[in-house]
Structure 1
Amino acid sequence: MVAGVLAAGLVAAGVTPAWACACGGFLPDVESRARAYGENALVEHSGGTERITLSMAVNGSAKKAAWIMPVPAAAKVELGDGDLFYRLDRMTRPKIVHRTTYWPFRNLGIMGSGRNTAGAPAPGAGVNVRQEMLLGPFAVARLDGSSGTAVTNWLRTNGYVVPPTLAANLTPYLTEKWEIVAVKLAPRQDGEPLTGATPPLRLTFASDRIVYPMRLSKGATTSQRVTVYVATEHRVDATKLPDPAVQPELLFAGRVQDQALPKPADYLTAYTVNYSDPGRITDDFTFAPAANDDAYQRVHVITRNEGLWSTIGVVFGGLLLIGGGAALLARRQVRRAARRAES
């Protein structure tokens, strides 16, 4: 299963790449300060078929942008479900637990915080363009190439701003005969800015393993946050890490009901990870079935502290109850003793 590596570029020349978002980078146009602040990716695997759906969120506005996504086999590219990631977010949110405490010094931490914590070839040489199409606001090109330099020359000639490290980072994928999907995002009308969340894009291809490409992200110069929802028949573990020193955080594991996740691919496992030093990334994510299908959901505890006076009230109330009970018991004992004396 593959989730794409995000890159963005402009037709305008002379723009310096500024990598800034999950699984790759975002390049704003000359006139804007737009940045990509998030990327959602759902990767699905069932019966030897892999599918990725992803959407990028842009803060600010840009006139043009693009994704570069390596995939291990020829891909079918289409638009995805616009509400998908809203539903996934709701399904994997933490469980809220409310708790009341009368401890007057909880903010001191005594009781805990209440949280779960070479010479360039001619343009186009060495590149095979398998398909070009228009999908909504996307212009899609499926490519393979003889080298990273050949592919980046094609990208540059066709209006992409190419970071200096992109050719070297593409080379391992091209050596392994992966396909490169280049996707331009552009407003429907000239002059209209690109902002907010992009429509989800879905890629489907054959694969005998679950893999999430991350090697292009080593070219990033800022911290990279990646969140991946993996939908398959069983819970999955991350068996290979982009940076072995950085462990992903498990957000959710369990069976879910959603029209986009038909059986048997209805077990959802969600991970998130932040790479503060993307240059240490050397590999892709791979996932495999876990030892069991144990469910997991984060818990967020909301503590209501009634404070010192409530504590005093509770203590005195308890003492009054105890005192009243003792007095009642004493009166009963006196009455019993009097009745015995009279008899």
Structure 2
Amino acid sequence: MKLWRMVAGVLGFAAVAVGVTPAWACACGGYLADAESRARVFGENALVRFDGGREEIVLSMNVHGSSKKAAWIMPVPAAAEVSLGEPYTFERLASLTAPKVVVRKTYWPFRDLGIMAGGRDGSVGAAPGAGAGVDVRQQMTLGPFQVVRLGGTSATAVTNWLKVNGYAVPATLATNLTPYITEKWEIVAVKLAPKEVTGSLSGVTPPLQLSFASSRIVYPMRLSKGATMEQTVTVYVASSHRVDASQLPDPSVQPKLLYAGQLTDEPELTGSQHYLTAYSVTYANPSRITNDFAFTQAPNDAEFQRVTYRTENHPWLSTIGILLGIPLLIGVGAALIARRSVRRSARRT
């Protein structure tokens, strides 16, 4: 009982109740909320590891609200190996790539006057029936997840299979899946339903890992075209060099560089590829998404970390500031009053 509630508290993939009104929200797949919960995905984190011939994607989503049933669809360019990822992956990545805090000393009363303080903020550098046209390649259970790997001759055949097997399918799914099916990508469908009637799914989903052969670094995004709300995606890329986002889902929206640098002491995150590059992007209009993310080696391995400046009083200079500052402020005030008096006198004469 307690174990399931703990798991349910951090899960929130798409609702799959038949007959519900779907609401797209996941950047790389479909998120469908059941009619009662109206849960939505508002953020997504992905760690992409690439060794030159194989890619691993570790994915977790942030869910607002709760859902009693869940499912998620992920296209990948080749046959995938699916497993559970390590917990706390993204908490650790967020900590490693956080802005560096630079403390600047000053002393009262000048701390808010821009004297000796510098800038405030900145940054530097046995499966169910397959049905016609569908190849059910594998079905497995991973913890609370039911995972199915599918191939298909058409997007319509795949969406029909999903409908028959309990997935709520939005009208736009077949259209958005068509490019992936045409390019012979595999479709990974992940489903979860609480074992308890009172169970619910919300919060941050535990990481799920997909590994597949690939000659390039790609992060699927085209299914997000059907999203109806703003999407924020953060992608961490671990490879042998710094990478640039060379192909954008929406060419009019540039991702923000969060971090670039060597992490040789974090093999559990980066594997054998020790250079980490992190990007974040928000899509206010997901319908303009037309492509996947692709990353290629940057011209150089220049490191980058954001910087946040914080101003603090210097302990012993504060006393001097008080001794010098109060008379100075009194003098400035007296001078201003005297100047106004002179002006008034001049006007009267």
- Pairwise TM-score range, normalised by the shorter structure: 0.7 to 0.9
The answer for the alignment partner of 2:344 in structure 1 is none
Letter in 2 for 1:246: V
Is 1:72 the counterpart of 2:77? The answer is yes
SS of the aligned residue for 2:267 comes to: coil
Work out which of the residue numbers 259, 267, 273 in structure 1 matches 2:275. Answer: 267
CA–CA separation in structure 2 for the residues paired with 1:86 and 1:123? 39
Q: Mark the runs of 5 or more structure 2 residues left unpaired by the alignment.
A: 1-11, 124-128, 329-349
The answer for the alignment partner of 1:243 in structure 2 is 250
After superposition, the CA RMSD in angstroms is 2.8
The answer for the alignment partner of 2:5 in structure 1 is none
Q: Is the 8 A contact 1:36 1:57 kept in 2?
A: yes
Letter in 2 for 1:114: R
Is 1:10 the counterpart of 2:10? The answer is no
Q: Is the 8 A contact 1:127 1:144 kept in 2?
A: yes
The answer for the alignment partner of 2:68 in structure 1 is 63
Alpha-carbon offset, residue 34 of structure 1: 2.5
CA–CA separation in structure 2 for the residues paired with 1:170 and 1:263? 31
Work out which of the residue numbers 7, 25, 29 in structure 2 matches 1:20. Answer: 25
Q: 1:262 to 1:165 in 2, by over 3 A?
A: closer
The answer for the alignment partner of 1:332 in structure 2 is none
Between 228-237 and 30-39, report the one with greater CA deviation.
30-39
CA–CA separation in structure 1 for the residues paired with 2:58 and 2:292? 17
Query: In terms of Rg, which structure is larger?
Result: 1
Q: Is the 8 A contact 1:50 1:204 kept in 2?
A: yes
Q: Is the 8 A contact 1:8 1:161 kept in 2?
A: no
Is 1:163 the counterpart of 2:170? The answer is yes
CA–CA separation in structure 1 for the residues paired with 2:114 and 2:226? 41
CA–CA separation in structure 1 for the residues paired with 2:21 and 2:67? 15
Q: 1:153 to 1:105 in 2, by over 3 A?
A: farther
Instruction: After TM superposition, list the pairs within 5 Å mapping 1:111-122 onto structure 2.
Output: 114-116=120-122
Q: Matched residues, percent identical?
A: 62
Q: 1:279 to 1:189 in 2, by over 3 A?
A: same
Instruction: After TM superposition, list the pairs within 5 Å mapping 1:289-308 onto structure 2.
Output: 289-304=297-312
Q: Mark the runs of 5 or more structure 1 residues left unpaired by the alignment.
A: 1-5, 319-343
The answer for the alignment partner of 2:236 in structure 1 is 229
Instruction: After TM superposition, list the pairs within 5 Å mapping 1:133-152 onto structure 2.
Output: 133-152=140-159
Q: Write the deviation string for residues 203-253 of structure 1: whole angstroms up to 9, x where unpaired.
A: 111000001111111111111111000001111001111111111000001
The answer for the alignment partner of 1:216 in structure 2 is 223
CA–CA separation in structure 1 for the residues paired with 2:89 and 2:276? 13
CA–CA separation in structure 1 for the residues paired with 2:93 and 2:271? 16
Q: Write the deviation string for residues 274-311 of structure 1: whole angstroms up to 9, x where unpaired.
A: 111111111111101111111111101112479x9986
Is 1:179 the counterpart of 2:186? The answer is yes
Between 123-132 and 65-74, report the one with greater CA deviation.
123-132
SS of the aligned residue for 1:116 comes to: strand
Q: 1:31 to 1:255 in 2, by over 3 A?
A: same
Q: 1:131 to 1:263 in 2, by over 3 A?
A: closer
Q: 1:145 to 1:302 in 2, by over 3 A?
A: same
TM-score using structure 2 length: 0.80
SS of the aligned residue for 1:130 comes to: strand
CA–CA separation in structure 1 for the residues paired with 2:290 and 2:25? 19
Alpha-carbon offset, residue 200 of structure 1: 1.1
Q: Number of paired residues?
A: 307
The answer for the alignment partner of 2:331 in structure 1 is none
Q: 1:123 to 1:45 in 2, by over 3 A?
A: closer
CA–CA separation in structure 1 for the residues paired with 2:190 and 2:119? 45
Between 139-148 and 99-108, report the one with greater CA deviation.
99-108
Is 1:131 the counterpart of 2:138? The answer is yes
The answer for the alignment partner of 1:330 in structure 2 is none
Alpha-carbon offset, residue 40 of structure 1: 1.5
Letter in 1 for 2:146: A
The answer for the alignment partner of 2:34 in structure 1 is 29
SS of the aligned residue for 2:251 comes to: coil
SS of the aligned residue for 1:78 comes to: strand
CA–CA separation in structure 2 for the residues paired with 1:281 and 1:108? 45
Is 1:39 the counterpart of 2:44? The answer is yes
